[in-house]
């Protein structure tokens, strides 16, 4: 009870800075519109949903998806509290890193993609606003996308800032310095093999995403081809960027061929890139397999292979990054004569 009533503290027992309290409030507040909207839909409301929306054709599947996304967005609130409350300092590293990696992976493409889509539209880009990709029926009212995606962007900025501050206090030693400062023990043959395997496997989804971004239709379902617009091409281009970032970050960490490069650069590339391609690849594959939908809108075999391929690439690169951090933590603890567990 005393812990729950204690004031929030930062590292070293100091009161939590006002800036972090503000970031926490912003992160939590940004979740509320989305949670309210989803809760209303679960309760039976059709606010923001047009009469002809395909969402109304499958109420059970839609309700399950809404409950799942409510839990996912609720996890953002839990993370915001964890990053700013005293008890968050003692959470095992993996228990924090895993959900933050997922949150980063899901939010990063939205944070980059939605503003780019609006910018492209402003300069004449064509997009079936308010419709599902490949569907002629209305999906959601345009204001829903504005409210939801704006909330996601604010969540990402606030939660990301809190995590950077938290990680700097707790694990800042792991990404200080440049690549030439790294000991040989931070990478090994296994990491190099995994990084190369990720680079090779990435060629297939990378080629398909690049083809689709440039207007090609090979491997796309009829529904997707019919519903393409500028939004589609922006997202496909972003997936190419995130795949390149993931593979590039993994290779830089594994081979260390750029000695003057700050360590944090490949870590950010590998972390954000791997999360984006793995989480969205898995999400799109799951949605494609579980959603009944119109046969014309269902993904083709090549689309599913692209989703699965990028998911595997992301997981492999994440493994390289995690192993790098653990190895550096162990070496640092040994050199300092520490006896505590690595990456605590």
Q: Return the pLDDT at 128.
A: 54
Question: Both ends of the chain: CA-CA distance in Å?
Answer: 25
Q: Which two tokens stand for residue 156?
A: 């990402």
Please give the model's pTM, rounded to 2 decimal places: 0.87
Q: What angle do CA 233, 237, 241 make, to 5 degrees?
A: 170
Task: Please report where in the chains the tokens 């992160």 appear, as a residue.
Answer: 27
Mean of pLDDT values over 122-127: 80
Q: What is the DSSP letter of 214?
A: T
- In 3D space, the residue among 86, 106, 102 whose CA is nearest the CA of residue 94 turns out to be 102
Calculate the dihedral angle through the C-alpha atoms of 64, 69, 70, 76, rounding to the nearest 10 degrees: 160
Lookup: tokens for 214: 């440039």
Q: Are 209 and 240 in contact (CB under 8 A)?
A: yes
Each residue of 323-333: pLDDT tens digit? 999 888 876 65
Indicate the DSSP class of residue 8. P
Q: Which two tokens mark 22?
A: 């503000």
How far apart (Å, rounded) are the C-alpha atoms in residues 267 and 249? 6
The predicted-structure confidence for 45-66, as pLDDT tens digits, reads as follows: 999 999 888 888 888 888 998 9
Backbone angles phi, psi at 245, to 5 degrees: -65, -45
Would you give the distance in Å from CA 7 to the centre of its chain? Answer: 31
Cβ neighbors of 232 (< 8 A, separation 6 or more) are 127, 133, 212, 224
- Number of residues in the chain: 344
Beta-carbon neighbour count of residue 117 at 10 Å?
A: 23
Q: Is the pLDDT of residue 315 over 80?
A: yes
Contact criterion met (CB below 8 Å) for 316 and 201: yes
pLDDT of residue 175: 84
Q: Could you please report the per-residue DSSP string of 247-272? A: HHHHHHHHH---TTSBTHHHHHHHHH
pLDDT at position 33: 96
Torsion, Cα 45 71 310 229, to 10 degrees, reads: 20
What pLDDT was estimated at residue 335?
A: 57
Find tokens 């054709």 and name the residue.
57
pLDDT at 282 over 50: yes
pLDDT tens track for 284-298: 998 887 766 666 678
CA 285 to CA 304: how far, in whole Å? 6
Residue 291 in tokens: 């959603």
Enter the tokens of residue 224.
């997707």
In angstroms, the Cα distances linking 49 to 60, 69, 141, 151 are 16, 17, 6, 18
| pLDDT value of position 327 | 85
pLDDT at res. 27: 97
- Tokens 């228990």 locate to 95
At residue 324's C-alpha, the angle toward residues 188 and 88, to 5°, is: 155
Rounded-to-integer distance, Cα 211 and Cα 344, Å:
43
Cα-based angle 26, 276, 55 (whole degrees, multiple of 5):
75
Residues 285-322 as b or e (16 or more Cβ within 10 Å = b): beebeebebbeebbbeeebbbbbbbbbbbbbbbbbbbb
pLDDT digits (tens, 9 = 90+) for 222-253: 888 988 999 999 999 999 999 999 999 999 99
Which pLDDT score, from 0 to 100, does residue 2 have? 35
């Amino acid at each position: 009870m005393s812990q729950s009533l204690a004031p929030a503290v930062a590292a070293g027992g100091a009161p939590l800075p006002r800036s972090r309290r503000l970031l926490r409030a912003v992160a939590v507040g940004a979740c509320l519109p989305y949670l309210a909207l989803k809760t209303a839909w679960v309760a039976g409301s059709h606010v923001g949903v047009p009469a002809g929306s395909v969402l109304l054709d499958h109420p059970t599947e839609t309700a399950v998806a809404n409950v799942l996304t409510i839990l996912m967005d609720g996890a953002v609130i839990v993370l915001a509290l964890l990053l700013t409350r005293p008890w968050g300092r003692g959470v095992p590293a993996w228990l924090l890193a895993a959900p933050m990696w997922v949150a980063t992976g899901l939010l990063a493409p939205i944070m980059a993609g939605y503003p780019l889509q609006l910018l492209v539209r402003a300069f004449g880009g064509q997009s079936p606003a308010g419709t599902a990709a490949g569907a002629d029926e209305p999906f959601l009212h345009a204001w829903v996308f504005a409210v939801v995606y704006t909330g996601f962007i604010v969540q990402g900025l606030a939660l990301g800032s809190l995590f950077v501050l938290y990680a700097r206090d707790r694990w800042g030693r792991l990404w200080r310095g440049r690549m030439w400062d790294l000991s040989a023990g931070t990478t090994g043959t296994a990491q190099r093999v995994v990084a190369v395997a990720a680079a090779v496997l990435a060629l297939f989804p990378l080629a398909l995403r690049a083809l689709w971004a440039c207007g090609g239709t090979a491997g796309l379902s009829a529904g997707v081809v019919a519903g393409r617009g500028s939004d589609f091409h922006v997202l496909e281009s972003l997936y190419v960027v995130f795949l390149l970032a993931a593979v590039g970050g993994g290779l830089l960490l594994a081979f260390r061929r750029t000695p003057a490069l700050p360590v944090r650069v490949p870590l950010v590339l590998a972390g954000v890139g791997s999360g984006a391609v793995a989480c969205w690849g898995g999400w799109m594959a799951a949605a494609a397999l579980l959603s009944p939908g119109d046969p014309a809108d269902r993904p083709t075999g090549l689309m599913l292979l692209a989703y699965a391929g990028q998911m595997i690439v992301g997981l492999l690169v994440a493994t390289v990054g995690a192993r790098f951090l653990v190895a550096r933590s162990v070496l640092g603890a040994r050199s300092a004569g520490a006896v505590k567990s690595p990456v605590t």
